[in-house]
Amino acid sequence: MEDIVARRFTGSFTQQEAIPSEAVEAAVSVLQSGRLHRYNLAGGETGEVAALEAEYRDWQGSRYCLTVTSGGQALQIALRASGVKPGDAVLTNGFTLAPVPGAIAAAGARAHLVEITDDLRLDLGDLEASIARSGAKYLMLSHMRGHLCDMEQLMQICDAAGVTVIEDCAHTMGAAWNGKRSGNFGKVACFSTQTYKHMNSGEGGLLTTDDAELAARATILSGSYMLYERHGAGPEAAAYEEARYQMPNCSARMDALRAAILRPQLAALDSNIERWNARYGVVNDILAADAQITTITRSNAETFVGSSIQFRLPGFSAGQCRGLLEAAARHGVELKWFGGREPVGFTSSHHSWQYMQGQSLPHTDQVMATLFDMRLPLTFSEEECALVAELICEAVSEVAR
């Protein structure tokens, strides 16, 4: 058998699958029409954007759906539509990506960070303590890297304290807790269709809710002018009576081209989730067999989407963690490390978010100090995923020697 030390992975960790041919044809049709704006429709025409909203609403199992320009815009609009005002305290995970505290800052609110557990979920004990300390009435819950906490217990805590939950589902589109879809627990949910998420329109976002008044406020905030009745997945016109005068136009509408690209991807999403999870299983099994690597435990109640994988090396120093990045790169494997103090690419920690007040999160910092992350593109075969996992184990062994 070929020695794996001599092998090197040559695939790209940033290359996505091609846009489906049906989506390309739909995009060309939109371009040929010249009507890219969601409200620029022919008489009696539904339009790609309204059709996507209705289809995603039905797939998600929510009452209302709104499309916007990005997942980050969905977060900002959700905060404002939920009633967050400048100066309000908003709780969120100590471990998340910068758009989450960024949305809180953009809404003029103050982020209060909550500790995470060893398995990357929001620490529910610290959540209760943080609610009491901060007096916050809002939680922007980030299902970071696709890890769901006990959603039933979380909602019990928040409901008892009168805390409104906004779910950031950028990494959990299609995930569930005890059979209930991620995004259907809180008052409003936000999803992303940025290139590295579960559907790819370059940039894009969706917002879902069962609350008619919130949906109306969000629609006006997105920039619907007075054309809200063209939203087939929105509430009845009566819900807009106050919102249409009170909510500012933030011009965050999704265009018809992106919606056309997304609709065929939504139709294939369930089968793609199965493909991601098969790849995740291959990598996770190999990493879990290595005594030096700590993989992330998942609850039996959780149905997840394995589009990325995380692991920890609790015995490693910061120098060894940096060494692993270099060793893995020599093997052609692109890892991200959340323990660095300087932001790199998409990866950062709360220490570099200087637009918010600095906070002490000792356990979160301890977890992130040896936390690694890797994308699992569907362009990788299961055999290639096995090779990548073996090369990670080899790189860990090289650094540990």
Residue 225, Ramachandran bin (φ over 0: left; ψ between -120 and 50: alpha; else beta): left
Q: What pLDDT tens digit does each residue of the chain (401 aa) get?
A: 344 446 899 999 999 999 999 999 999 999 999 999 999 998 889 999 999 999 999 999 999 999 999 999 999 999 999 999 999 999 999 999 999 999 999 999 999 999 999 999 999 999 999 999 999 999 999 999 999 999 999 999 999 999 999 999 999 999 999 999 999 999 999 999 999 999 999 999 999 999 999 999 999 999 999 999 999 899 999 999 999 999 999 999 999 999 999 999 999 999 999 999 999 999 999 999 999 999 999 999 999 999 999 999 999 999 999 999 999 999 999 999 999 888 888 888 999 999 999 999 999 999 999 999 999 999 999 999 999 999 999 999 999 98
The set of residues, in sequence order, having a beta carbon less than 8 Å from that of 319 and lying 6+ positions away, is none
Tell me the CA distances in angstroms from 32 to 49, 256, 264, 374, 395, one per residue in order.
Answer: 16, 12, 19, 39, 51
Counting DSSP H helices and E strands in the chain, the numbers are: 13, 14
What is the pTM assigned to this prediction?
0.96
Other beta carbons within 10 Å of 213: 15
Residue 2 has a pLDDT of: 43
pLDDT in tens, 29-61: 999 999 999 999 988 899 999 999 999 999 999
Residue 4 has a pLDDT of: 44
The set of residues, in sequence order, having a beta carbon less than 8 Å from that of 230 and lying 6+ positions away, is 38, 39, 41, 47, 50, 224
Cα-to-chain-centroid distance, residue 152? 20
With CA atoms as reference, report the closest residue to 154 among 178, 174, 135, 133: 178
Q: What is the dihedral of CA 372, 130, 83, 59, to 10 degrees?
A: 40
With CA atoms as reference, report the closest residue to 193 among 96, 100, 258: 258
Residue 355 has a pLDDT of: 93
Instruction: Specify whether the CB–CB gap between 209 and 64 falls below 8 A.
Output: yes
Residue 77 has a pLDDT of: 98
Instruction: Give the single-character DSSP code of 9.
Output: -
With CA atoms as reference, report the closest residue to 373 among 199, 141, 196, 205: 196
Residue 6 has a pLDDT of: 60
CA-CA-CA-CA torsion sign (332, 379, 120, 169): positive
Which contacts (CB < 8 Å, 24+ apart) does range 83-89 have? Answer: 83/164, 84/109, 84/138, 85/109, 88/136, 88/137, 88/138, 89/134, 89/135, 89/136, 89/137, 89/138
How would you list the strands of the sheet with 176-177, edge to edge?
180-181, 176-177, 302-303
Other beta carbons within 10 Å of 42: 8
Structure tokens at 199: 């559907």
Q: What is the dihedral of CA 142, 144, 147, 149, to 10 degrees?
A: -30
3-class DSSP state of 33: helix
Domains of the chain: 21-267 (3.40.640.10), 269-400 (3.90.1150.10)
With CA atoms as reference, report the closest residue to 125 among 363, 297, 296: 363
The set of residues, in sequence order, having a beta carbon less than 8 Å from that of 169 and lying 6+ positions away, is 143, 175, 182, 183, 189, 190, 191
Q: Crossing angle, helix 151-161 and helix 124-134, to 10 degrees?
A: 20
C-alpha to C-alpha distance for 195 and 307, rounded to whole angstroms: 12
Give phi and psi for 111, each to the nearest 5. -80, 130
Q: Crossing angle, helix 256-267 and helix 21-33, to 10 degrees?
A: 160
Q: Crossing angle, helix 71-81 and helix 212-222, to 10 degrees?
A: 130
Instruction: Specify whether the CB–CB gap between 51 and 259 falls below 8 A.
Output: yes
